[in-house]
Amino acid sequence: MSALRIEHLNRSFGSLVVTDDVNLDIAPGERHVIIGPNGAGKTSLVNQIGGQLAPSSGHILVDGTDITGHSPDRISRMGVARTFQRNNLFQNLSVIENLRLALEVRLGKPLDFFRPADRNAALMTRAKELMAQVHLGSDGDRTVRNLSYGEQRQLEIGMALAGDPKILLLDEPTSGMSPAETARMIELIAGLPRSLAILMIEHDMKVVFSVADRVTVLYYGKILATGTPDEIQANARVREVYLGVRH
Ligand SMILES: Nc1ncnc2c1ncn2[C@@H]1O[C@H](COP(=O)(O)OP(=O)(O)O)[C@@H](O)[C@H]1O
Ligand SMILES: [Mg+2]
């Protein structure tokens, strides 16, 4: 069964069609990258999957369950996590405190079972695991506002992973990054557990071709092509309209 299935999805803003009969299947653990020019409808598509934007028609299924029109909170509890291009970290708290807060939100109830001391220990252990997973080393006491831009974006992914999602949505995780920060982010994403499916919007072709199992090209709200990176690179129509290659 697909981790994520999108069926005949449509969305318009007035007369502007931003999602035009989109159909997509993401397998469990698949790394799927969406590319397309500015205004193609990439963010709108991810917003519909995350529940921030309601589709006009069509269906979105997570592990076979229809989540179309559900609230962002309910969708995240179904195992769909996301980061935002806008930073949503607590700037005056430490790395570990941010991760603990994200864990409190997601794991609060199940951990009520433990005595407070054990609960704290369990949260701390998991927060440290997350910190390592997003390559933030072992010094969790650094205040977030003192982290570099790239490190803050790494931490955002750690926050998204706190709920132990099955699907991670990333909207341009390397935007605004230096080449060195981009390289670190690619390494981080490529190293995430294979149990996690990733649907990611990205414009940097180096990132796209080093991370993606499959690539989808969006163009004026429509899927122009879906395929392996090699298939997409060889696709004449994609080269013509997106990669700017003339024949
Ligand atoms: N809330 C909105 N109201 C009206 N138009 C919007 C809204 N959100 C996005 N759009 C328009 O929809 C189109 C697709 O936007 P978006 O999904 O952000 O594209 P992308 O992420 O591919 O650059 C753009 O033309 C954008 O201006
Ligand atoms: Mg966008």
Residues 176 and 244 grouped into a single domain: yes
**CA distances (Å), origin 35, targets 93, 110, 172:** 35, 39, 10
- Alpha-carbon distance 83 to 171, whole Å? 7
Residue whose C-alpha is closest to residue 192's, from 58, 30, 72: 30
145 with 173, same domain: the answer is no
Q: In this structure, are 226 and 171 located in the same domain? A: yes
* Residues 132, 233 share a domain: no
Q: Is 75 in the pocket of ligand 1 (CB under 6 A)?
A: no
Rounded CA separation 134/184 (Å): 10
Domain final residue, candidates 141, 164, 187: 164
Based on the domain organization, do 243 and 215 belong to the same domain? yes
Record the pTM.
Answer: 0.93
* Residue numbers of the domain that contains 67: 1-79+165-247
40 lines ligand 1 (CB under 6 A): yes
Protein residue closest via CA to atom 10 of ligand 1: 13
Cβ–ligand 1 contact at 68 (below 6 Å): no
Instruction: Report the separation in Å between the CA atom of 50 and the middle of ligand 2, taken as the mean of its atom positions.
Output: 14
pLDDT of residue 240: 85
CATH for 230: 3.40.50.300
Do residues 54 and 43 share a domain?
yes
Is 118 in the same domain as 18? no
149-161 vs 179-190: helix axis angle to the nearest 10?
20
Answer whether 18 contacts ligand 1 (Cβ < 6 A). yes
Q: Encoding tokens for residue 193?
A: 């557990």
Give Cα 219 to chain centroid, integer Å: 20
Same domain membership, residue 73 and residue 11: yes
Residues 75 and 98 grouped into a single domain: no
Question: Amino acid letter at 58?
Answer: G
> What DSSP string runs through 17-58?
EEEEEEEEEE-TT-EEEEE--TTSSHHHHHHHHHTSS--SEE
The residue contributing the CA closest to ligand 1 atom 25 is: 39
Residue 109: predicted pLDDT = 57
pLDDT digits (tens, 9 = 90+) for 74-108: 999 999 999 875 567 999 999 999 999 999 887 65
Q: Please list the ranges in the chain whose pLDDT falls under 70.
A: 85-87, 107-114, 243-247
Residue 243: per-residue pLDDT: 62
Could you tell me if 169 and 159 lie in one domain?
no
**Please, which residues have CB less than 5 A from ligand 2, an ion?**
42-43
**Is 42 close to ligand 1, i.e. is its CB under 6 Å away?**
yes
Q: Look at the chain and report how many structural domains it folds into.
A: 2
Which of 127, 149, 164 represents a domain boundary (last residue)? 164
Domain match, 171 and 74 both: yes
Examine the domain organization and report whether 171 and 143 are in the same domain: no
Last residue of a domain, one of 111, 140, 164: 164
